[in-house]
Amino acid sequence: DAGITQSPRHKVTETGTPVTLRCHQTENHRYMYWYRQDPGHGLRLIHYSYGVKDTDKGEVSDGYSVSRSKTEDFLLTLESATSSQTSVYFCAISEPGGDEKLFFGSGTQLSVL
Amino acid sequence: QKEVEQNSGPLSVPEGAIASLNCTYSDRGSQSFFWYRQYSGKSPELIMFIYSNGDKEDGRFTAQLNKASQYVSLLIRDSQPSDSATYLCAVFRDTGRRALTFGSGTRLQVQP
């Protein structure tokens, strides 16, 4: 998994609770990404980071926030989880340089009841 | 219109045959093109990338790009049951947002 660890691997939570997913990388990559994957929608970008404290929104960012206080950690927070946020969440890393080969973590299966 | 479109499948081919997976994209300024393989319950794995018009071969895999037609394809020769997976097409354009846009994937089934 290209030195990427996601935690937790599985989580079940209740509607309205805050949830934080963690992505940890050991390869000192500058760029990190959070995608969600749902049937029929493929992978959709939630947020990404291009450095410590530098983040930007993706196409489905509503209801999510992120933080990156260290190069190796990128956190995704669901402020108040809803059932529509039940999904598989993937963290990815890449190196800039004209193309964007992404390498993915193992994913987090999140169920919001 | 989705930015990256793929037929969801399943595409079923017999073992040993050539599997042909297709992808169209809407942004004519797209610069780089990628194919990922995803086994059920696993994360996507990069298998091919192509930047220029034409063909690029790597082992049993060939990626084909036609920018004029906004079309990219993946050919898998001598298909094996282990190739059964979902194949995701992704494109990149540097708009300041340095991220890939993915299609929803094509499920391939290789029948023994």
What tokens appear for B23 in the block? 């992808």
Environment class of residue A37 by beta-carbon count within 10 Å: exposed (0-12), middle (13-18) or buried (19+)? Answer: buried
Report the pLDDT value the prediction gives residue B97, as an integer from 0 to 100. Answer: 73
**Mutate which: A37, A100, A108, vs B, most B CBs within 10 A:** A100
Q: Which of B88, B2, B75, B70 is nearest to B30 (CA)?
A: B70
Report the pLDDT value the prediction gives residue B69, as an integer from 0 to 100. Answer: 95
* Tens-digit pLDDT profile for residues B80-108: 999 999 999 999 987 777 789 999 999 99
Report the pLDDT value the prediction gives residue B72, as an integer from 0 to 100. Answer: 97
Report the pLDDT value the prediction gives residue B89, as an integer from 0 to 100. Answer: 97
d(CA B34, CA A73): 26
Side-chain-side CA neighbours of B67 within 13 Å: the count stands at 12
Q: Which residues of B touch A55 (CB under 8 A)?
A: none
Q: Does A34 touch chain B (CB under 8 A)?
A: no
Q: What is the DSSP letter of B82?
A: G
Report the pLDDT value the prediction gives residue A27, as an integer from 0 to 100. Answer: 81
B21 SS3 class: strand
If you count residue pairs, one on A and one on B, with CB atoms under 8 Å apart, how many are there?
Answer: 62
Q: Tell me whether residues B104 and A41 touch, CB distance under 8 A.
A: yes
Q: Does A89 touch chain B (CB under 8 A)?
A: no
Q: Which of B95, B94, B102, B111 is nearest to B10 (CA)?
A: B111
What tokens appear for A24 in the block? 């940890």
Report the pLDDT value the prediction gives residue B93, as an integer from 0 to 100. Answer: 85
A30: closest chain B residue by CA: B98
Q: Are B101 and B6 in contact (CB under 8 A)?
A: no
> Which member of B8, B43, B104 has the closest CB to residue A1?
B43
What tokens appear for A98 in the block? 């004209």
- Give the residue ranges of chain A where pLDDT is below 70: 1-2, 96-99
Look-up of token digits 């999904």: A87
Q: Which residues of A touch B24 (CB under 8 A)?
A: none
- List phi, psi (to 5°) of A8: -75, 170
